[in-house]
Amino acid sequence: MSNDGASAPLDRQPDQTSPPPSQPAPGNASDGAVLPHSNGNSTNDNGGQQNGFANRLRLNPNANHKPDNYEDLNLDFSPYLFSSLERYLPPNLLLMSRDVKVTYMRDILLRYSPESERIRLQKHREYRQKIISNYQRLHRELYTMHVTTFFVPSFLKAINENTEQGLRNIMSEPTPGIFTFEMLQPRFCEMLLTEVENFEKWVHETKFRIMRPNTMNKYGAVLDDFGMETMLDKFMEEYIRPISKVFFPEVGGSTLDAHHGFVVEYGMDRDLDLGFHVDDSEVTLNVCLGKQFSGGELFFRGVRCEKHVNTETQSEEIFDYSHVPGRAVLHRGRHRHGARATTSGNRINLLIWCRSSVFRELRKYQKDFSSWCAECQREQKERQHQSVSAAKLELLRRGETAT
Ligand SMILES: O=C(O)CCC(=O)C(=O)O
Ligand SMILES: [Fe+2]
């Protein structure tokens, strides 16, 4: 497949299978599309009133109750889902210990997830547990959010200001819908690179079979799998969502509630390039961590919904971007893109695919995505143009018959 964006983009998904992956995807027999990434959030409309327990859930959440924090537990669903669900617990359960509440809520959630998904979640939980109890972390400070260690001052100032103008001041938008800005401290990039190296060394030494970030990369690692899930949740909620809320409201930018966080690695002894694809995300954050490299440019080719993913690229949609360490690129997941070959050195990038369960739910009932799909927009304009022409013709016809 050529790298210039002319061929059909793949729908890129995380590797959800226990290793090795996966099933073939249409358009390219060598790459696979696998089950959609589960974020545990699709279960939070569980309608728990019908769960058959003696103590039924409340119909409406108890707004005055301050839920427990579940972030330190290794659970099969997001810790935030447990905190949200806790507001629906019957009053007598609210007085119980956190362990009792967890058992009760987990039981409810499991009843609402299909069997195959339940097994997959359980396997993945065991996989993560094995890593977490055996892998010795190198930089403990990476696993909890340390804002000044992570982010450059200009970025923090804009986030704290929390205005569109403040954000625009640190951003460039070289083509519509692609934002780039200075984000990560060089020291943070260096620490994350060495942590990933350390993890891979451990994987190699112990012959542990790891799951790769998705079906298109043979190298790289899922940060969520070795202990960074909670940190990355905060990263998304506090540092990506406020920006997405302003620049990507039409794809659920303000309701991002799940993520897939990973690093990809390119070079002579790694992946070379990345084919044309769309991400399984509403909004993607891509930050180059280093090291020294040449090549590896991203190429973008316009935003498309599922129906139009293979339609032609318009000349104004062609945009190429050269990575700079520490600098972030933020784009819609449906903005078709790929990465050219890294021709020398090594390139390692941090990717956070951010998702909104609300957006995904609403999308099921829609056919027209002209608020963000460029092809839906063109079709809509075409329909408007045709109806104006038809109306004009009709007026002319009436004029003629009247005379
Ligand atoms: O290599 C890159 O910078 C792009 C990675 C990417 O598009 C992805 O992982 O979804
Ligand atoms: Fe991508």
The string of pLDDT tens digits covering residues 27-73 is 332 333 222 223 333 333 322 223 334 468 888 889 899 999 998 88
End-to-end CA distance of the chain: 62
Residue 205 neighbours by CB distance under 10 Å: 8
339 Cβ below 6 A of ligand 1 = yes
pLDDT attached to residue 115: 83
pLDDT attached to residue 11: 74
Is residue 15's pLDDT more than 70? no
pLDDT attached to residue 336: 98
The mean pLDDT value of the chain amounts to: 87
| pLDDT tens string 118-175 | 888 889 999 999 999 999 999 999 999 999 999 999 999 999 999 999 999 999 999 9
pLDDT attached to residue 7: 60
Tokens of 98: 């956190």
102 Cβ below 6 A of ligand 1 = no
pLDDT attached to residue 76: 75
- Residue 378 Cα to ligand 2 middle (Å): 24
pLDDT attached to residue 17: 46
274 Cβ below 6 A of ligand 1 = yes
- Residue 278 Cα to ligand 1 middle (Å): 10
Specify the range with the lowest mean pLDDT, choosing from 17-26, 101-110, 240-249, 258-267: 17-26
- Residue 66 Cα to ligand 1 middle (Å): 39
Tokens of 256: 């991002």
348 Cβ below 6 A of ligand 1 = no
Q: Exposure of 268 by Cβ count < 10 A (0-12 exposed, 13-18 middle, 19+ buried)?
A: exposed
Confidence band, pLDDT 50/70/90 cuts, at residue 1: very low
- Residue 278 Cα to ligand 2 middle (Å): 6
Q: Which of 11, 218, 264 to mutate to test the pocket of ligand 1 (most atoms within 8 A of CB)?
A: 264
232 Cβ below 6 A of ligand 1 = no
For residues 148 and 151, give the distance between their C-alpha atoms in angstroms, rounded to a whole number: 6
pLDDT attached to residue 53: 41
Nearest ligand 1 atom to alpha carbon 262:
9
Is residue 387's pLDDT more than 70? yes
Q: Determine contact, residues 239/157, Cβ cutoff 8 Å.
A: no
- Residue 336 Cα to ligand 2 middle (Å): 8
For residues 374 and 384, give the distance between their C-alpha atoms in angstroms, rounded to a whole number: 15
Nearest of 156, 132, 302, 150 to residue 223 by alpha carbon: 132
Q: Which ligand is nearest to the CA of 333?
A: 2
| pLDDT tens string 130-142 | 999 999 999 999 9
**Considering only CA atoms, which residue is closest to atom 10 of ligand 1?**
279
Q: Exposure of 248 by Cβ count < 10 A (0-12 exposed, 13-18 middle, 19+ buried)?
A: buried
Q: Exposure of 68 by Cβ count < 10 A (0-12 exposed, 13-18 middle, 19+ buried)?
A: middle
